[in-house]
A and B are shown apart, each in its own frame.
Chain A
Amino acid sequence: AQSVTQPDIHITVSEGASLELRCNYSYGATPYLFWYVQSPGQGLQLLLKYFSGDTLVQGIKGFEAEFKRSQSSFNLRKPSVHWSDAAEYFCAVGYSSASKIIFGSGTRLSIRP
């Protein structure tokens, strides 16, 4: 069965600092991987997705993620965070491009002024 682990419940970084949010997945075949961001009480916005091809994926808002099969990881990165990046970030996995997706428990990002 698919599963997603986000080991960090809450992370605080200073504005302008770099960011890396960790995500590990469990799935036997090549997974379909997603990162979503959610502001309080709001919907889920897709930051980026990986289906195949280049393992370094560029997303919106300056985010990128790297698929590492050997580590079963799909970590999200941003070189310089902005106060507006404060939100909940969810990693998710699916077994096809149109299957249900399983979410991790989320990482709450706070930004220190």
Chain B
Amino acid sequence: AAGVIQSPRHLIKEKRETATLKCYPIPRHDTVYWYQQGPGQDPQFLISFYEKMQSDKGSIPDRFSAQQFSDYHSELNMSSLELGDSALYFCASSNTGFGGYTFGSGTRLTVV
């Protein structure tokens, strides 16, 4: 079965650089979520999109932005990177009709 695809799997950036993470949800899933998991931490909700509109917002820094495109894929843009942004970034998708909720394998971002 198709899963949530995230790219890249690993990313190394320097401080103050910009990073873009991509997420391709499961086909027919209409909602995408982004989570951040710092070392030894539980995943923290950042933001979600339903039908290409922002549906909920969590503890997402102002330096981060995200959007969902017409093909339902989503991108998380992170600017002015800081060392503390080093984390695993997970994308998940769901379908409001069926209640499925599936995570991707994550993107490991390392800021040096």
A interface list, Cβ under 8 A from B:
32, 34, 36, 41-46, 49, 51, 90, 94, 97-106
Contacts and interface: CB of A to CB of B under 8 A. Distances in A.
A51, A97, A106: most-surrounded residue (chain B CB, <10 A): A97
Nearest to B105: A43
Given A32-B99, A43-B103, 18 more contacts: A36-B103, A43-B90, A43-B104, A44-B103, A45-B103, A46-B102, A51-B99, A90-B42, A94-B101, A97-B101, A98-B31, A98-B95, A98-B101, A100-B56, A101-B101, A104-B42, A105-B42, A106-B42
Interface of B: 31, 33, 42-45, 48, 50, 56, 58, 88, 90, 94-96, 98-99, 101-106, 108
A43 B35 CA distance: 12
Contacts of A49: 101
B45, B58, B99, B108: most-surrounded residue (chain A CB, <10 A): B99
A85 B106 CA distance: 21
B52 to A, nearest CB: 15
Identify the 3 closest CB pairs spanning chains A and B, nearest first. Answer: A97-B99, A43-B105, A103-B42
Nearest to A4: B42
A103 B101 contact: no
Nearest to A99: B56
Contacts of A102: 45
Contacts of B42: 90, 103-106
Contacts of A45: 103
Nearest to A43: B105
A101 B45 contact: yes
A31 to B, nearest CB: 13
A53 B108 CA distance: 37
A42 B105 CA distance: 7
B87 to A, nearest CB: 12
A32 B98 CA distance: 13
Contacts of A41: 88, 108
20 contacts: A34-B101, A42-B106, A43-B103, A44-B103, A44-B106, A46-B102, A46-B103, A90-B42, A97-B94, A97-B98, A97-B101, A99-B56, A100-B33, A100-B45, A100-B48, A101-B45, A101-B101, A102-B45, A104-B42, A105-B42
